[in-house]
Copies of this chain bind each other. A is one copy, B any other.
Amino acid sequence: MSTTPEVAGVLRRFNRTYTQRIGALDESFLGLGLPLSSARLVFEIGVDGAGVGDLRSRLGLDSGYLSRLLRTLESRGLVTVGPDPADGRRRTASLTPSGGRLLERLEQRSDDLAHRLVAPLTERQRARLAEALGTADLLVRAATVSLDAVDPAGRRAAAAMEHYFAELDRRFPGGFDPGEPTPPDSFTVATSDGRPVACGGVQQIGAGVAEVKRMWVDPEWRGAGLGSRLLRHLEGVAADAGHLVVRLDTNGTLSEAIAMYERAGYTAIERYNDNPYAELFFEKALD
């Protein structure tokens, strides 16, 4: 706040410009015989379908309201809602062929409008705009990732860890076998649009000593500072639990991670465990 007093102002000014001009992109959904909220819903269901709860959180709707919207789309033959095979309480919505055609037309309209919007710009200006919006997009998304403590043995933790293990398996020359992973003392998942985009656990490994484990950041999200933020967060978790020192191990393959640890003030130490995949070991004192 102290040294960048203008960010908020720029943001607010942009907000104004935005609602007046680009906001019309949403209204391009109109005129196909559907109210805006229903059209947005069709859009959000998409070709792959989506869980009802997922839709609710992505669109920020009341469950009753969403249910009713789905009912009207169903009655128009645009959507079918069926049970989730994995959990009988959940339901998944997907588009019928006619719903798919509607989605295509929505996409088309939205695309046309976007093109028309940038048409008066020169080629170079368009490129500049695309770059600026891309940057803003990444940063805004990064800023609004939410870091939540989840049950280390629960479903959300498992789903996030799966990404982590899958990536290790891809990156390690001989693959990676997680064995029977034991849940850490606490686990944090970073979520954006309902999907896990980063995660990490904290576990006590000695008196006053915590280990950061299974830290992972989605490849698409690297370079947005999410890793550092998560690491700071996990250090906070460890400090709150009364630990004085944080350790972690890693593998030489994971060069971005190593660079980040060093930037964050970690120093290399001797091997402190028998993890066969670990080659490098770091430590940092909590203040």
Contact with B along A140-160 (1 / 0, CB 8 A): 111111000000000000000
- Given the contacts A25-B11, A139-B128, A140-B22, A225 and B133 also touching, CB distance less than 8 Å: no
Looking at the assembled complex, report how far the CB atom of A286 sits from the nearest CB atom of chain B, in whole angstroms: 20
B contact residues around A193 at 8 Å (CB)? 20
- When chains A and B are docked, how far (Å) is the Cα of A193 from the Cα of B58? 32
Question: Is there an interface contact between A17 and B141, defined as CB atoms closer than 8 Å?
Answer: yes
- Given the contacts A123-B4, A139-B121, A142-B121, A134 and B10 also touching, CB distance less than 8 Å: yes
Question: Is there an interface contact between A11 and B139, defined as CB atoms closer than 8 Å?
Answer: no
B contact residues around A17 at 8 Å (CB)? 137, 140-141
Question: Is there an interface contact between B121 and A225, defined as CB atoms closer than 8 Å?
Answer: yes
B contact residues around A18 at 8 Å (CB)? 18, 22, 140
B contact residues around A140 at 8 Å (CB)? 17-18, 21-22, 117, 129
Question: Is there an interface contact between B126 and A4, defined as CB atoms closer than 8 Å?
Answer: yes
- When chains A and B are docked, how far (Å) is the Cα of A126 from the Cα of B142? 11
Looking at the assembled complex, report how far the CB atom of A3 sits from the nearest CB atom of chain B, in whole angstroms: 6
Looking at the assembled complex, report how far the CB atom of A56 sits from the nearest CB atom of chain B, in whole angstroms: 13
Question: Is there an interface contact between B22 and A11, defined as CB atoms closer than 8 Å?
Answer: yes
In the assembled complex, A254 has its CB within 8 A of some CB on chain B: no
The oligomer's copy count stands at 2
Main secondary structure of the interface of A (DSSP, over half): helix
In the assembled complex, A269 has its CB within 8 A of some CB on chain B: no
In the assembled complex, A13 has its CB within 8 A of some CB on chain B: yes
B contact residues around A273 at 8 Å (CB)? none
Q: Within residues 1 to 31 of chain A, which ones have a CB less than 8 A from any CB in chain B?
A: 1, 3-4, 6-15, 17-22, 25-26
A-B contacts, 28 of them at CB < 8 A, read A3-B123, A4-B130, A7-B114, A8-B115, A10-B129, A10-B130, A11-B25, A11-B114, A11-B118, A12-B111, A13-B137, A14-B136, A15-B26, A17-B140, A21-B140, A21-B143, A21-B144, A22-B140, A117-B144, A120-B142, A120-B145, A121-B143, A125-B139, A128-B135, A129-B143, A132-B132, A132-B133, A132-B136
Known: A1-B115, A10-B134; 14 extra A-B contacts, CB below 8 A, are A3-B123, A8-B114, A11-B22, A11-B25, A11-B133, A12-B110, A14-B134, A14-B136, A20-B193, A117-B144, A120-B143, A120-B144, A128-B139, A132-B139
A residues at B contact (CB < 8 Å): 1, 3-4, 6-15, 17-22, 25-26, 58, 60, 110-111, 114-115, 117-123, 125-137, 139-145, 193, 224-225, 228-229
Shortest 8 CB-CB contacts between residues of A and residues of B: A8-B114, A132-B135, A132-B136, A129-B139, A132-B132, A14-B133, A11-B114, A10-B130
